[in-house]
Structure 1
Amino acid sequence: MKEAPMTVTCGIDWSEKHHDVALVNETGTLVAKQRISDDANGWRVLVELLAEHGDHPDDLIPVAIETSRGLLVSCLRATGRMVYAINPLAVARYRERHTVARSKSDHADAMTLANILRVDAAHHRPLPKDSELVQAIAVLARAQQDAVWNRQQLANQLRSLLREYFPAALKAFHVKNIGLTSREARTVLQAAPTPGAAAKLTARRLHALLRGSGRQRNIETWTDRLQAIFREEQLRQLPLVEDALGRQVQALLLQLEAACRAADDLAEATAETFGRHPDAAVITSFPGLADLTGARVLAELGDDRSRFADARALKAYAGSAPITRASGKSLVVHHRKVKNQRLAAVGYVWSFASLRAPGPRAHYDHRRAEGDRHSSALRNTFNRMLGCLYHCLQNNKTYNELVAFSPRLGSACPNSAKNRAA
């Protein structure tokens, strides 16, 4: 059944202190305009303005705005109306359809947004109608992901700084599952940030520092190893320069300590909130997805089942599906660069961790045998897993490897163990 055309559409040009609102009818005629403040009084004015022009609980006026975040957008979504977050670049291109003078104003931008909905609403996707719980999961999961990225950035800065004057510290904590972000490294370096101070650490002091960091096993072995490394002959900076660099390391360690604590606290809160969502059981049934990675996936997918038309739309959104550029005799296939970067990041971790399961591993090996590089094979595995996840979420089913990955896949690989034996 063909949808009825929108009679009135609303465009809002957003800014930090005020917003310009424009309402146009089905012919593109401006029927109302208003500048509202970014507070409760401005929201009240907006609601009254919409009501004056036909806004009704059964027929809510759609709104176009250039952002998907903020209190105004949150309040608009809470009313249940269709809210479209239009990319500012798309708005600029649409503006050029009507004028080439490059004139620009807040009111004109609001009208442009309203006209985009009037003419091309079918070509834009409204914000999903996610539940309150999944929106909370998205806040926590994204914050935790940002904290992890911030922690790694600080660790890289610390590594670069230590290389300038204290390479022995890098050697001391270059151990499997132990790095500069570990509690042992942070505790020892905070107490002895220079080669001179580290060389003076006694076995008793090192033992106390390691135990204070929370380490319980192999403390004596660690004590002997650290003391031997710190007392080795090494190149040194000038004394005053070395002390200054040590103070800089201590300041950086304070930031790293806060980042590590934030990442750990947010991880705990994210896992706890994610466990309350009904989709958690389906998501964590997939190999490679635990509470934290599963929460990141759910945060980007949401729980609005109508958000993606099919699995192909989801794969394009995640950037796992390739994109084809064809012109005349030229045909080039690339991986997508415009995508949800957060979902793509967790997709790499997910696909890599899933290789412990037979099905994903056979699929990955098959892609490698076909000539794909490691990153391409992982992206293809992620693409396959996303399609399975879409099906399972739509039908509320848990992961079944026999259905997701055909047993014949292993024999299809020319370098498989079966074919080599033959």
Structure 2
Amino acid sequence: MKASPPSGLSPAPDSCLASPAADSCPPPPPVPAPVYEAFIGIDWGDQKQFYTRRDVAQPTRLHRGSFATAEVSAWLQQLRTHFGGHRIAVAVEQSRSVLIYALMEHTDFIDIYAIPTLASANYRKAFRSSGAKADNTDADAIEDMLYRHRDQLRLWQPDDEQTRLLDALCRNRRHAVDERTALTNQLTSQLKLCYPVALELCREMANPMLLELLQRWPTLQKLQAAKPHRLRSLFYKHHVRREAWVQQRLDLIAKATALVHDHAVLLPAELEVARLVRQLRTLLPAIEDYDKRIHELYEAHPDAFIFKSLPGAGAALEPRLLCAMGSQRERWADAQALQNFSGLSPVRKSSGKTSLILRRHACPKYLRQTFHEFAACSIKFCDWALQFYERQCAKGKNHHTAVRALAWRWLRILWRIWKDRKPYDQSIFTASQKRHQSDDTSQLAPT
């Protein structure tokens, strides 16, 4: 899919080993490389882990082995004893596996390098063109990548516990919301078949009133047989008391007619509606519980004031933006590094006379989604964001391309206020924008 870069943005090259910004950003100040006694690559599995270890004292000799997941702590203790507590480097593919969390408890002598799964797979294929694959050889490839290309790998630096907890809750809530959307879409499809009047009673399929109505009267025949005072009682229970609205719904129910009478069609649809209603009525309180816990954690977070100042973020996106930026201020050397890692910067693919600018696909999708959704919400609450979006659309960009360009622009602002620990101030941004426009005009003026 061809995409044009945001205004003023040049596509940055990718690297499967380093940060996507490694080739396009000025290198950070040199940091002394840690000295390790050993390098270990682990191929993670549910029940059993295979590892390859290379001791610095004997770099040509590889030690291979395996251990069960339940034996991780004992294996780590053996490493601590064997190397006398000296630092060792451990590389794993998964960044959210049980093994990572076990390794985190031993960071006093272990440095963790989380390698993207695709990167390790491509590294293995580069030397095994036959496509042969095994757990022990995967561990060899991971260890070899760590030993030979450590300077290109990112040292895994977890956020503080409060931020990680908030991030986990936000991700789980997002999964629950996606599940709610899938269930309501299925429910809409079934109601069109066997219970179309329900779609006219309430437009929102996840409405508690509609779900209770469908559970108490699962068919049109049972709904029309219900006494009016029982229906009124249901409406009043859910704070629907306007008489004109209530009477309109009662008349709608009385006049409704079934479109399908085939029992072979109606019975499966009715059972499916009952199943979907039960799932939704269980899921909605869970989402409310997530919202409550996220709000409590977010309000207590020391960085919350930064993201509360963002226009259009709201209760759902503010905590997600906080977790997306994290608590490690040294993680992103500059805004470009964050823009590349989140997938908002495009990439260029060139060969001979052909050159394409493409949307970046190798990125954390949840992270990109967070910034994309915030940019879309900011259009309604921020004047300059609306103007920027309209200029992009005027250039012929579609909605999502324009929003992605706006998100790229927002990330520069987010990185700065996050780095400085200051709330967003639109007057500062507007003044900076005018100053840059003035500088550009003076450079173009004749001498």
**1:224 maps onto 2:247 in alignment:** yes
Read off the aligned partner of 2:153 and give its amino acid letter: H
Measure, in 2, the Cα distance between the counterparts of 1:31 and 1:242: 66
Q: 1:319–1:338: 8 Å Cα contact kept in structure 2?
A: yes
Q: Which moved more, 1:99-108 or 1:261-270?
A: 99-108
**1:263 maps onto 2:290 in alignment:** no
Partner of 1:314: 338
- Counterparts of residues 52-91 of structure 1 (less than 5 Å): 52-53=82-83, 55-56=85-86, 60-80=87-107, 81-91=110-120
- Counterparts of residues 6-405 of structure 1 (less than 5 Å): 6-26=36-56, 28-39=59-70, 41-53=71-83, 55-56=85-86, 60-80=87-107, 81-174=110-203, 179-212=204-237, 214-218=238-242, 220-230=243-253, 231-239=255-263, 241-355=265-379, 356-405=381-430
Measure, in 2, the Cα distance between the counterparts of 1:351 and 1:406: 21
Q: What is the deviation of 1:155?
A: 0.3
Q: What is the deviation of 1:166?
A: 1.8
Q: 2:50–2:66: 8 Å Cα contact kept in structure 1?
A: yes
Q: 1:65–1:86: 8 Å Cα contact kept in structure 2?
A: yes
Q: Which has the higher contact order (CA 8 A, sep 6+)?
A: 2
Measure, in 2, the Cα distance between the counterparts of 1:239 and 1:102: 53
Q: What is the deviation of 1:391?
A: 0.6
Measure, in 2, the Cα distance between the counterparts of 1:45 and 1:344: 37
Task: Tell me the matched-pair count.
Answer: 400
Read off the aligned partner of 2:348 and give its amino acid letter: T
Relative distance call for 1:378 and 1:102 in structure 2 (3 A) is closer
Read off the aligned partner of 1:397 and give its amino acid letter: K
Read off the aligned partner of 2:316 and give its amino acid letter: L
Relative distance call for 1:402 and 1:369 in structure 2 (3 A) is farther
Relative distance call for 1:239 and 1:200 in structure 2 (3 A) is farther
Q: What is the deviation of 1:217?
A: 4.4
- Relative to the length of structure 1, the TM-score reads 0.87
- Relative to the length of structure 2, the TM-score reads 0.83
Measure, in 2, the Cα distance between the counterparts of 1:30 and 1:211: 77
Give SS of 2:239's match.
coil
Relative distance call for 1:117 and 1:240 in structure 2 (3 A) is closer
Read off the aligned partner of 1:145 and give its amino acid letter: R
Measured on the aligned residues, the alpha-carbon RMSD in Å equals 2.3
Q: What is the deviation of 1:98?
A: 3.9
Measure, in 2, the Cα distance between the counterparts of 1:149 and 1:216: 28
Gap runs ≥5 in structure 2: 1-29, 438-447
Q: What is the deviation of 1:162?
A: 0.8
Partner of 2:11: none
Q: Which moved more, 1:95-104 or 1:291-300?
A: 95-104
Relative distance call for 1:300 and 1:47 in structure 2 (3 A) is farther
Partner of 1:419: none
Q: What is the deviation of 1:34?
A: 3.0
Q: 1:188–1:210: 8 Å Cα contact kept in structure 2?
A: no
Measure, in 1, the Cα distance between the counterparts of 2:34 and 2:115: 22
